[in-house]
A and B are shown apart, each in its own frame.
Chain A
Amino acid sequence: AQSVTQLGSHVSVSEGALVLLRCNYSSSVPPYLFWYVQYPNQGLQLLLKYTTGATLVKGINGFEAEFKKSETSFHLTKPSAHMSDAAEYFCAVTGREDDKIIFGKGTRLHILP
Chain B
Amino acid sequence: DGGITQSPKYLFRKEGQNVTLSCEQNLNHDAMYWYRQDPGQGLRLIYYSQIVNDFQKGDIAEGYSVSREKKESFPLTVTSAQKNPTAFYLCASSKFPGGAPDNYGYTFGSGTRLTVV
- Beta-carbon contact of B42 and A106 below 8 Å: yes
In Å, the complex CA distance between A48 and B75 comes to 28
Q: Does B84 contact A (CB under 8 A)?
A: no
- Beta-carbon contact of B101 and A32 below 8 Å: yes
Chain A residues 25-72 with CB under 8 Å of chain B are: 32, 34, 36, 41-46, 49, 51-52
For this complex, into which size category does the number of interface residues on chain B fall? 20 to 34
B116 CB, nearest partner CB in chain A, Å: 18
- Beta-carbon contact of A44 and B105 below 8 Å: no
Which of B96, B106, B108, B110 counts the most A-chain CB atoms under 10 A from its CB? B106
In Å, the complex CA distance between A13 and B14 comes to 41
Closest to B45 in A: A100
- Beta-carbon contact of B104 and A52 below 8 Å: no
In Å, the complex CA distance between A69 and B43 comes to 25
Interface size on A, residues (CB 8 A): 23
Closest to B106 in A: A101
- Beta-carbon contact of B42 and A51 below 8 Å: no
In Å, the complex CA distance between A100 and B113 comes to 24
In Å, the complex CA distance between A105 and B41 comes to 6
- Beta-carbon contact of A51 and B90 below 8 Å: no
Complex interface: chain B residues within 8 A of A43 (CB): 6, 90, 92, 108-111
- Beta-carbon contact of B41 and A96 below 8 Å: no
Given the known inter-chain contacts A90-B42, A99-B97, A105-B41, please indicate yes or no for A34 contacting B105, CB distance below 8 A: yes
B35 CB, nearest partner CB in chain A, Å: 8
Q: Does B31 contact A (CB under 8 A)?
A: yes
- Beta-carbon contact of B31 and A44 below 8 Å: no
Known contacts A41-B111, A51-B104; 20 additional CB pairs below 8 A are A32-B104, A34-B105, A36-B108, A42-B111, A43-B92, A43-B109, A44-B90, A45-B108, A51-B102, A90-B43, A96-B98, A99-B97, A99-B104, A101-B94, A101-B105, A101-B106, A103-B43, A104-B42, A105-B40, A106-B43
Give A contacts to B, CB under 8 Å. 9, 32, 34, 36, 41-46, 49, 51-52, 90, 94, 96, 99-101, 103-106
